[in-house]
């Protein structure tokens, strides 16, 4: 069994120790290159690094092979959040990886790969050509909806992400609704408002869901429980609360029930589904709490036999719809579902991995993630089987007080050591090698345990969160 090699700037007990006053990252990279079966792991402490055995490959039974024979790959991950950190971390552990490049990485994970700057998507595509990038993974929705994949395709760069046309499944709620109607996919009844003069039309029964048509980073939905809130919300949206994204809004039938995040990967002919997850979008448990980008998530979600059967029908329905549309991209589709009226209804589509669901799912995944992405580009997803850890994997988000409207950031962060909690960084920056909060959501704390949000010696992930030194921190305690 391979040993974990600890690298640090001060003495620490371990099987094999490199003691230096300061370890330069370039020297560490040389060590990694000399140890082909090891990956560089960054711990919560800037002065401590570790070389760990690369992740075991869990092959699909249909492949019948336990080792990769493929050439090592150069991979680009684009994005700055905890989701992209989780993606980069999963790829970094792969035996298929030659070199990892990062674009827009935050200071919390920028040193697990080589950071590249760019002026625009065209310039980034040209850099990818020069760097011989084999796969580009696009994390956030904005570049996808702005057409980055179309640009990369022009330069023949293999890309994980939807093209601009199909990105409308997320960038336009109305486009998504028309797609669902065309293929008989169940969704809430709705009508469209594009001017204040028609703002009260057809609102007969409350509550209703008021949704901005465009991209609002998960914050463009308000549940209005009475006429006053509805009228105020509609007016704010139409007057540009979210810019062009809310100049058209949908007034939607309010559905109540258990929600489910169903993430799948499309290879052009078939969908590969990850385990159903559940995220917690509300800032707190109050019915009138504001929506956020997500305050926590866990997977897998236990379903009844009826829910499983009807979920299976929906999965086939979505795959058939994408086939009928001749969807010519390789990328993720996120189905936001709700169990209502004894069936699954689609609340929304996203065209990328969810955040924080990704952090929980990739914590749970045992199969080599880069192998999955490569299989998608080769249109082989129907030939692989995914393997997962036992129990549950969960993610608890730590944000700044005041999030989502007015986050109080700029606070120093000190994280206690733990081999039971995996940390992915979002809104952070380094100053003199010290970590500080920057923005709304700051950290994703992830763990695998017999119960969601439990972790080893801690009864709950909140117990670990309590020990993190950070003024003005906020996280949900009720998950």
Whether 275 and 376 map to the same domain: the answer is yes
**Domain of residue 224, residue span:** 189-253
Q: Which of 441, 395, 374, 397 lies closest to 59 in space, CA to CA? A: 374
pLDDT at 172: 96
Q: End-to-end distance of the chain based on CA atoms, in angstroms?
A: 37
Query: Burial level of 132, CB count in 10 A (0-12/13-18/19+)?
Result: exposed
pLDDT at 288: 84
Residue 223 lies in a domain: yes
Residue 237 lies in a domain: yes
pLDDT at 10: 35
Whether 421 and 357 map to the same domain: the answer is no
Whether 329 and 278 map to the same domain: the answer is yes
Instruction: Specify the residue for token string 């866990």.
Output: 298
Query: Total structural domains in the chain?
Result: 5
Whether 371 and 260 map to the same domain: the answer is yes
| Eight-state DSSP code of residue 110 | G
Asked which of 383, 412, 438 is the last residue of a domain, the reply is 383
Asked which of 366, 383, 400 is the last residue of a domain, the reply is 383
Q: How many CB atoms within 10 Å of residue 412?
A: 12
Which residues of the chain, if any, have pLDDT below 50? Answer: 1-30, 32-36, 42-48, 53-69
pLDDT at 132: 97
Question: Could you please report the per-residue DSSP string of 265-297?
Answer: EE-SS-EEEPPPBEE--BSSSSTTPPB-S-SEE
Cβ atoms of residues 222 and 250 within 8 Å:
no
pLDDT at 203: 62
Whether 266 and 300 map to the same domain: the answer is yes
Whether 375 and 402 map to the same domain: the answer is no
Whether 376 and 274 map to the same domain: the answer is yes
């Amino acid at each position: 069994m391979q040993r974990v090699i600890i690298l640090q700037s001060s003495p620490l007990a371990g099987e094999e120790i490199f003691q230096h006053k300061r370890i330069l990252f370039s020297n560490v990279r040389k060590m990694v290159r000399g140890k082909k079966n090891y990956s560089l792991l960054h711990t919560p402490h800037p002065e401590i690094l570790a070389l760990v055995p690369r992740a075991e490959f869990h092959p699909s039974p249909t492949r019948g092979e336990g080792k990769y024979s493929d050439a090592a790959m150069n991979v680009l991950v684009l994005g700055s959040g905890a989701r992209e950190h989780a993606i980069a971390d999963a790829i970094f552990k792969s035996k298929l990886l030659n070199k990892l490049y990062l674009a827009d990485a935050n200071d919390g994970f920028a040193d697990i790969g080589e950071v590249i700057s760019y002026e625009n998507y065209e310039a980034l595509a040209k850099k990818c050509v020069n760097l011989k990038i084999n796969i580009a993974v696009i994390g956030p929705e904005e570049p996808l909806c702005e057409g980055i994949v179309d640009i990369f395709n022009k330069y023949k760069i293999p890309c994980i992400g939807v093209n601009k046309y199909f990105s409308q499944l997320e960038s336009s709620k109305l486009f998504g609704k028309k797609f669902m109607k065309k293929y008989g996919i169940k969704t809430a009844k709705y009508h469209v408002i594009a001017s204040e003069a028609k703002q009260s039309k057809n609102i007969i029964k409350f509550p209703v869901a008021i949704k901005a048509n465009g991209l609002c980073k998960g914050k463009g939905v308000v549940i209005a429980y009475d006429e006053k809130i509805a009228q105020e919300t509609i007016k704010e949206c139409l007057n540009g609360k979210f810019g062009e994204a809310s100049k058209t809004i949908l007034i939607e039938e309010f559905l109540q029930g258990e929600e489910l995040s169903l993430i799948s990967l499309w290879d052009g002919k078939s969908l590969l589904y990850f385990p159903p997850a559940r995220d917690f979008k509300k800032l707190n448990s109050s019915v009138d709490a504001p929506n956020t980008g997500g305050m926590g998530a866990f997977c897998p979600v236990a379903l009844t036999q009826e829910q499983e059967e009807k979920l299976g029908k929906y999965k086939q329905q979505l795959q058939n719809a994408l086939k009928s549309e001749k969807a010519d991209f390789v990328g993720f589709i996120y189905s936001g579902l709700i169990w209502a009226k004894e069936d699954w209804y689609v609340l929304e589509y996203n065209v990328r991995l969810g955040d924080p669901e990704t952090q929980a799912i990739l914590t749970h995944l045992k199969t080599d993630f880069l192998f999955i992405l490569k299989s998608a580009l080769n249109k082989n997803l129907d030939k692989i089987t995914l393997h997962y850890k036992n129990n549950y994997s969960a993610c608890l988000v730590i944000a700044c007080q005041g999030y989502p409207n007015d986050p109080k950031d700029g606070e120093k962060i000190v994280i206690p050591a733990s081999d039971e909690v995996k940390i992915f960084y979002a809104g952070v920056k380094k100053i003199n090698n010290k970590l500080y909060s920057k923005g709304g959501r700051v950290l994703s704390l992830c763990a695998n345990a017999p119960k969601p949000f439990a972790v080893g010696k801690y009864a709950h992930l909140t117990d670990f969160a309590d020990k993190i030194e950070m003024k003005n921190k906020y996280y949900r305690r009720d998950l």
